Amino acid sequence: MPQKKPFITLAQAKEIAADIPTPFHLYDEKGIRENARRVNAAFSWNKGFKEYFAVKATPNPYLLKILQEEGCGVDCSSYTELLMSEACGFKGSDIMFSSNDTPAQDMKKAYDLGAYINLDDLTHVAFLEKVAGVPKTVCCRFNPGGVFELGNGIMDNPGDAKYGMSEDQMAEAYTRLMAAGAEQFGIHSFLASNTVTDDYYPKLAGILFELAVRLHKRTGAKIKFINLSGGVGIAYRPDQRSNDIAAIGEGVRKKFEEILVPAGMGDVAIFTEMGRFMLAPYGALVTTVLHQKHIYKEYIGVDACAANLMRPAMYGSYHHITVLGKEDTPCDHKYDVTGGLCENNDKFAIDRMLPEIDIGDIVYIHDTGAHGFSMGYNYNGKLRSAEVLLKEDGSHQLIRRAETPEDYFATFDFSPFFKK
């Protein structure tokens, strides 16, 4: 199997680890900035284009500020994500609020910030009006039902998804919102996750552009923007092809020219909400080998666990592994790479062919820049790790300290012991 190239060397990892003990999530500022510029270039044909980074993927203000400097907005789904975005200086139309089962506090905060509010259900029209008010611009989320297919087969099953409204509900929502004072509208939809094909966005765009034309004709609503949401994936496996964002942008442009321009809707802005594509390849979990175990299989125990990266345990997801300093050593040993949780699925790799590993080796787990740290938890009393930024000049910066036992006990009010 081909190998992926880490964005740090063993020497760099040792230098950082001498300052910030492993495990830690490490992010590559240079890679993040270059990728954001590629995305903006791919959609530069659309005057209103904006990437709203999905905060849920990597909620760290230092990273949000980098993306803000590259012209990105933020996609929020909760009160605390809105607070973090506000603290970073995002406001108004730089924020997209997409939520479901939404608490009143969250909706009111989004309204107060002037965010674009994306309503998930027809009943949320009255809810929004009651708890906050109806802004001049409102978005609604579309669910076409059925299955979503591309030429290479079924991609996902929107009919089983809890998100969005039917087309008739969208039309009714627009009509009610206009009666309540709304003047401009957005369309939002998310039909498949982590797609590794250049066809997904163009196919989705075609569906939403045609929907926009029908809704405009049916209700008279002015469509201000169409949000393609996320779903553009990355090549987690080294033998997978990577998405070509330039080709994706061009495919969306063709659909735009084919459908919206002839309908007199060539001023519609295109938005995206990518989390995984924006950051996943530019983050890694760096961990140190603590133990070896030789029974019916060969096990390598590291100081990270599923509490630091739960995707392999939760989904069986593949994350490539590099043993730093042994990049050119033959992968002729078969290992399970495990953490220390009291769960047998706490494994970063199963039957993985790797170089011979020694205690003390530094292991680099690829593509954890999105849905890595953010999905962490405290099972077994495990503490969340630090987050570190590898800056463009090669220096490193601690951007989130590791949790301490005091953090773990901070919400208890049981005895003086927990207040030490």
Contact call for residues 362 and 17 (beta carbons, < 8 A): yes
342 in active site: yes
Choose among 163, 149, 164, 287: nearest CA to 206.
Answer: 149
Contact call for residues 47 and 266 (beta carbons, < 8 A): no
How many angstroms separate the CA atoms of 311 and 232, rounded? 17
DSSP string, 182-235: --EEEEE----SSB-STTHHHHHHHHHHHHHHHHHHHH--EEEEEE--S-B---
Choose among 164, 90, 96, 179: nearest CA to 134.
Answer: 179
Among residues 76, 305, 331, 342, the one annotated as catalytic is 342
DSSP 283: E
Give the E-state strand segments of 332-409 in sequence order. Answer: 333-338, 347-354, 362-365, 386-390, 396-400
Q: Identify the H or E element spanning 247.
A: helix 245-255
Catalytic residues: 342
